[in-house]
Amino acid sequence: EAQVTQNPRYLITVTGKKLTVTCSQNMNHEYMSWYRQDPGLGLRQIYYSMNVEVTDKGDVPEGYKVSRKEKRNFPLILESPSPNQTSLYFCASRASGGPYEQYFGPGTRLTVT
Amino acid sequence: AQKVTQAQTEISVVEKEDVTLDCVYETRDTTYYLFWYKQPPSGELVFLIRRNSFDEQNEISGRYSWNFQKSTSSFNFTITASQVVDSAVYFCALTPNAGGTSYGKLTFGQGTILTVHP
């Protein structure tokens, strides 16, 4: 089954404790992206990657890191999480060659206390 | 920079009513794509439609229809004879075509919460 998976689905952590949210897709998509969803703000793009080893900032990259060492994986790293990073996070992927629709993972709800 | 505005924060209707969700966008790119996504209470994001800026034809899919007007930078979504299962948050989104000023960036609107009462 074609899908985007994220882990963990729920995470409660404390300020400053480094964490990684994993994202994996099995559709051989070149393009992957991370978003955060906050009430009243919709979804905002954090980082995106056009292909392996090619990443770029979205609209809200501060406080986040990403890496793309393999085509299928695109982890999101919070080196020193803060309470304002409490949010619902989505990973997405799509095929290259055009801005086709993106396939989204199920979401990760992160709470930073 | 690109921007998508969904001015309607929440809409409440009774089943079988028609409802239109508004989407207005801003972009400096001459070619771009527009999307609508649905987020039901379960939380996942479901793709509904993609529209190329070259194609201003309206589209109908069952009870759903979309009206794209480049002259007013709008891409509105209408649900005919709404049903309780249509209750969800709906997002409009915009991305430039290849070669655009921010290719790869997908900008979402704030979302419209639609509640359909039985």
Is the Cβ pair B105, A45 closer than 8 Å? Answer: yes
> Mutate which of A43, A51, A100 to disrupt the B interface (most B C-beta within 10 Å)?
A43
**The predicted structure's pLDDT at residue B101:** 54
Of the candidates B85, B94, B79, B90, the residue with the CA atom closest to the CA atom of residue B37: B90
Q: How confident is the model at residue B96 (pLDDT cuts 50, 70, 90)?
A: confident
Residue in A43, A56, A107 nearest the CB of B108 = A43
SS3 for B25-61 is EECCCCCEEEEEEEECCCCCCEEEEEEECCCCCCEEE
The pLDDT tens digits of the residues spanning A85-110 come to 999 999 999 887 665 788 999 999 99
Distances (CA, A) of A46 to A3, A42, B16, B58: 21, 13, 39, 32
Residue B46: what pLDDT?
Answer: 92
Q: First and final CA of chain B: distance in angstroms?
A: 41
Q: What is the mean pLDDT of chain B?
A: 91
Using an 8 Å Cβ cutoff, are B10 and B112 in contact? yes
**Residue B12 confidence (pLDDT):** 97
Is B33 in Cβ contact with A99 (below 8 Å)? yes
Question: Measured between CB atoms, which of B91, B104, B105 is closest to A42?
Answer: B91
B 31-90 → A contacts, CB under 8 A: 32-33, 35, 43-45, 47, 50
Q: Is A6 exposed, middle or buried (0-12, 13-18, 19+ CB in 10 A)?
A: buried
- Cα A69 from Cα B57, distance rounded (Å): 41
Check pLDDT > 90 for residue A112: yes
B38-80 tens-digit pLDDT: 999 999 999 998 888 888 778 888 999 999 999 999 999 999 9
Average pLDDT over residues A26-31: 92
If phi > 0 it is left, if psi is from -120 to 50 it is alpha, else beta; for residue A61 that is alpha
Q: Which residues of A touch B50 (CB under 8 A)?
A: 100-101
Q: If you measure CA to CA, which chain B residue comes closest to A55? A: B104
pLDDT band at B99 (very low <50, low <70, confident <90, very high): low
Sign of CA dihedral A80, A86, A87, A88: positive
